[in-house]
Amino acid sequence: MALPYLEAVLCFMILMYLFEAYLDIRQHRALKLPTLPKPLIGVISNEKFERSRAYSLDKSRFHFIHEAVTIVMDTTILYYRVLPLFWKKSAALATNVGLNAENEMIHTLAFLAGAMVWSQIVDLPFSLYSTFVIEARHGFNKQTIWLFIRDMIKGILLSIVLGPPIVSAIIYIVQIGGPYLALYLWGFMFALALLMMTIYPVVIAPLFNKFTPLPEGVLREKIEKLAASLKFPLKKLFVVDGSTRSSHSNAYMYGFFKNKRIVLYDTLIQQCSNEDEIVSVIAHELGHWKLNHTLLMFLQFGGYTLVRNSKDLFESFGFKDQPIIIGLIIFQHTIIPLQHLLSFCLNLVSRAFEFQADAFAKNLGYSTELRAALVKLQEENLSAMNTDPWYSAYHYSHPPLVERLQALEDSDSKKED
């Protein structure tokens, strides 16, 4: 008797939805609190708090609806065996346009093309509402509808250009992998990640944003001096026009070996009061690099090799044959428990890294500036001021502002003692 794989997957999906919905309710209650947390009283203005509260509640309500629609659609597609039907229809589509659907690569690409169209149709209303209602209502959205459509078209074209060779390579590797399949897949994904990290900032990101060198001046001098003092191999320093789409702010670094680059959002420069606050944010980011927080971790593909030839598993999801791409999709559903556990563990590690990077910037002499920058970014991005401890522990990769300020203060107290 075949094991009820599909039923087990559906049960866990629903249980996880209920658990996360419970956490969302706890967070929604925290967001409704009418007063600031005690450590932020006198630090965050009441005007910013009220704006943050309204923005967070709007996003929370939207999230409830989005997640409810998503779980209903996902469980319906799996329970009523929509995937097998879609797989058959994609073969007919490929045949109708003169392609050989017997070729698994062609059949798979036709299936993924249909899936991409479906995904765009389903996601578009949510994306439009989020961008042009919620983000616009609270002063963040800077996009025109034309820019939104242009970005969407560029994203689709990139998928059309990059998708087929990557998918074809994966199918070929699975077909010839044999007992070393897991190793071959890991090697391919590792090489692909390195390639994408190399070409994305140079080729793909400029398709969506304009990157210009940071002009000569005090800010550039201070960042270059900081990088040199840490032996960070800074080659280029850019400003990206994030303000063309949103007034949210950020900064990041990328590059390999001796060819590192730092990118500042123009909104970050506009929102910080002085150069030292901006440099303190960079000091935090450089702390991640100096403390080796940016090393990549890759998941092994051993689990997939164990389930890809399981006839019962495919039949449970409604498939008589065993297409490679379908095996990968089913595998993603069967490891949902592991994914949730891994995500939670990675968030724990990430929060620890954030505290370490804050301490690193503080030890460089940017304690006051970092505090001011963290408060300013919290205010300008209207980030949630009140957070539920269970929700933040499960979801947040960055500690709440209260905890970061408290950690900086505690380290000061220890030094004084």
Confidence (pLDDT) at 305: 61
The contacts of residue 31 (CB under 8 Å, 6+ apart) are 53, 56, 57, 60, 384, 386
The string of pLDDT tens digits covering residues 191-221 is 887 787 778 878 888 888 888 988 888 888 8
Concatenating the DSSP letter of every residue in 81-102 gives THHHHHHHHHHHHHHHTT--TT
Q: Grade residue 62 by pLDDT with cuts at 50, 70 and 90.
A: very high
Confidence of residue 28 (pLDDT cuts 50, 70, 90): very high
Active-site option among 266, 276, 277, 285: 285
Q: What percent of the chain has pLDDT over 70?
A: 92
Confidence band of 300 (pLDDT split at 50, 70, 90):
very low
What does the block give as tokens for 272?
Answer: 């910080």
Reading the block at residue 340, the tokens are: 């949730």
Mean pLDDT across 278-291: 78
What pLDDT, on a 0 to 100 scale, did the predictor assign at position 138? 93
Per the annotation, does 224 bind a ligand? no
- Confidence grade of residue 296 (pLDDT, cut at 50, 70, 90): very low
Rounded distance between C-alpha atoms, residue 170 and residue 190, angstroms: 13
Mean pLDDT of 112-130: 93
Position 148 scores a pLDDT of 93
Reported confidence tier of residue 50, pLDDT bands at 50, 70, 90:
very high
Is the pTM higher than 0.95? The answer reads no
pLDDT band for 105, please (50, 70, 90 cuts).
confident
Predicted confidence band of residue 298 (pLDDT cuts 50, 70, 90): very low
Looking at 20-34, 52-66, 153-167, which range is the least confident one?
Answer: 153-167
Is 107 labelled a binding residue?
no
| Residue 246, beta-bridge partner list | 141
Count of CB atoms within 10 A of residue 380's CB? 18
- Residue 354 in marked binding region: yes
**What are the tens digits of pLDDT across the range 373-403?**
888 888 888 889 999 999 999 988 888 988 8
Where is pLDDT greater, at 258 or 111?
111
pLDDT band at 227 (very low <50, low <70, confident <90, very high): confident
Give the pairing of strands 234-240 and 211-213: antiparallel
Is 266 annotated in the active site?
A: no
Q: Mean pLDDT, the chain, as a whole number? A: 84
282 class by beta-carbon count within 10 Å (0-12 exposed, 13-18 middle, 19+ buried): buried
Residue-wise pLDDT for 269-283, tens only, equals 888 777 888 888 888
297 pLDDT above the threshold of 50: no
pLDDT at residue 35 is higher than 60: yes
* Nearest one of 68, 67, 56, 112 to 87, comparing CA atoms: 112
Quote helix, strand, coil % in the chain, to nearest 5.
75, 5, 20
d(CA 199, CA 4): 43
Question: Which residues of 187-319 form beta strands (DSSP E)?
Answer: 211-213, 234-240, 251-254, 260-265
Kindly state the average pLDDT of the residues 150-161. Answer: 91
pLDDT of residue 2: 58
Mean local confidence (pLDDT), 84-107: 86
- If one compares 170 and 292, the residue with the highest pLDDT of the two is 170
Q: What token pair was written down for 39?
A: 């450590």
Tokens 């659907």 correspond to: 101
Is 285 considered catalytic here? yes
pLDDT exceeds 70 at position 242 = yes
Catalytic residue among 266, 276, 358, 403: 358
Q: Are strands 260-265 and 234-240 parallel, antiparallel or unpaired?
A: parallel
> Looking at residues 234-248, what average pLDDT do you find?
84
